[in-house]
Amino acid sequence: MEVQVVDAFTDRAFAGNPAGVVLLTAPADEAWMQAVAAEMKHAETAFVELRDDDEPLGLRWFTPVREVDLCGHATLAAAHVLGGDRRFRTRSGVLTCAARDGWVEMDFPADPAEPAEVTAELRAGLPGVTVEAVGRAVSDVLVQVASAAQVRALEPDLAALAAVPGRGVIVTAPGDRPGLDVVSRCFYPSYGVQEDPVTGSAHCTLASWWAPRLGKPELFAEQCSPRGGQVRATLVGDRVRLAGRAVTVLRGRLIV
């Protein structure tokens, strides 16, 4: 089986979020896919079940420790590997991807966050920031802080964040330079991912949160992890269009 490693949400190698992409010619055992994802050690590895007809391709995502319901950067990586316009059948429904001028645009369900209280785990997990608002989405807890500088300088207590219910924690603020609308960082220690370099699915919550607050549906966002990456996010009703670029850095074959 062919396997590739793709840096997603970036236009240069060794930046953005690396994802494994495994191309399957037949259904694979779930335990085997989890073992491969653990071996790859990327935040997510995508498994694409190829087909000979026009039906959506099967797509599943695994972190090193568990399967997830939605992953933006590994979907982008899979679409980049396959090229052109693609449809995928996933645990979050059918997702469509379209190639546009060197970018891949993905149509994802929005995941809006409802106002929530600041918990003791969040306070312990996010030292040195001024919390302005908290929202709870289906997947993640969003924490809006006072400035982009606080987001960039944050040194979280990951053990405390692991105790926050849900998939993980998004820390965000308005952008701090012209043309940059939003900054964020994302932490998923309970899913085996300490800090995710660039999280496409988190922008389904970020777009829903910031579009009405900033008064604009189209956002240019930076996830300011050490690797860094950029996402275009457009809120359209109950959907979010996510766009990013990608670079293939490795091609090989699985022999087991």
Active site residues: 44
d(CA 255, CA 87): 28
DSSP state of 56: P
CA distances in angstroms from 125 to 12, 61, 149, 155, 201, listed in the order given: 32, 27, 17, 9, 22
d(CA 245, CA 100): 10
Number of helical H runs and strand E runs in the chain = 6, 18
Count of beta carbons in the 10 Å neighbourhood of residue 87: 17
The phi, psi pair for 181, rounded to 5°, reads: -85, -40
Count of beta carbons in the 10 Å neighbourhood of residue 81: 22
Count of beta carbons in the 10 Å neighbourhood of residue 32: 12
